[in-house]
Amino acid sequence: MPKRTVFFVSDQTGVTAETMGHSLLTQFEGLEFKAVTLPFVATVEKAAEARERIDATAVAEGTPPIIFSTLIKDDLRDIVKDANGVFLDFFDAFLGPLEAALGVKSSHAAGRAHGMADLQSYTQRINATNFALSNDDGTQTRDYQQADVILVGVSRSGKTPTCLYMALQYGLYAANFPLTPEDLETVRLPGPLASHKAKLYGLTIRPERLQQIRHERRPNSSYASAQQVAFEVRQAEALFERFGIPFLDTTDTSVEELGSRIMQKTGIERRLRP
């Protein structure tokens, strides 16, 4: 079966339309889609171009494409709605019920969803990102006082991307500290961590997966050997248990889910609101 084309049309980046469309389409297992994002459709000309492109795709594929729209302005939406496609409109579906519930009319103003970054949240995000970078991989530990959370785990267990995601998405100050083979030999808590025990969160990973990841990085090294990897993971988990450090398995878990679960389990409050 040929792939059906799905358009994500937005007057902004298209990230909301993509998120929404992706969530829905994954409910249709076995079907494959060709995704096309049309961002910054913010003028009548751009909207007409989008409509033409959708129409051309309908002709070429012999079936109307799916359209996920987050266009907010009526004049632009009306143009794209006219295209030969299945038009699923985010604002159409929900603004009416929301207006009724809130007892006010919405502004129908374009470009608010991902619009201007206000200075405060921009600064928060930048500061959190800088914190994650300068406290990555145990490079420094003197700012742990400021940390919201300190992720601990063996090399390549997923600490860095999780910290960066928490910084960018939630504005949290997330540091990370690697457990070295020497630390693991003795199952002791490295010095810089001992005075911040309440902030520690462990990450673990299935040995086979860790081996695969390390092998890609340093093929056939002892660092990537089955024996070394099994030893490190076993000792890290023993260390988490000995010191009462909560931990998560990163093997099958996205950074989104890791970030969200860590916040939920620790009760850390996000610093950036959605």
d(CA 66, CA 34) in angstroms, rounded, equals 10
By CB under 8 A, name the one of 42, 82, 129, 271 that touches a copy of itself: 129
CA distance 79 to 63: 19
* Residue 186 beta carbon to a copy of itself: minimum distance, rounded to whole angstroms: 29
> Among 48, 86, 187, 230, which residue interacts with a copy of itself (rule: CB under 8 A)?
86
Of 27 and 186, the one with the shorter C-beta distance to a copy of itself is 27
Binding residue (CB under 8 A) for a copy of itself from 42, 48, 58, 95: 95
As given in the structure block, the two tokens for residue 77 are 């939406």
70 contacts 12 by C-beta, under 8 angstroms: yes
Radius of gyration over every alpha carbon of the chain, rounded to an integer in angstroms = 24
Q: How far is the CB of 203 from a copy of itself (least distance, A)?
A: 13
Which of residues 206, 260, 266, 271 is near a copy of itself by CB under 8 A? 260
Q: x/- string (CB under 8 A) for a copy of itself, residues 130-159? A: x--x--x---------------------x-
Which token pair is 37? 């994002």
* Minimum gap (Å) between residue 8 Cβ and a copy of itself: 8
Site residues for a copy of itself, 196-225, by CB under 8 A, read 209, 212-213, 216
Pick out residues in 24-43 that bind a copy of itself (CB under 8 A): 24-29, 31, 35, 37, 39-40
* Angstrom distance (rounded) from CA 218 to CA 241: 30
Are the C-beta atoms of residues 7 and 68 closer than 8 Å to each other?
A: yes
Are residues 67 and 92 in contact, defined by beta-carbon separation less than 8 angstroms?
no
| Least distance between a copy of itself and beta carbon 187 (Å) | 27
Please measure the distance between the N-terminal and C-terminal CA atoms of the chain and give it in whole angstroms: 39
Are 14 and 39 in contact by the 8 Å Cβ rule? The answer is yes
Q: If binding means CB under 8 A, how many residues of this protein chain bind a copy of itself? A: 82
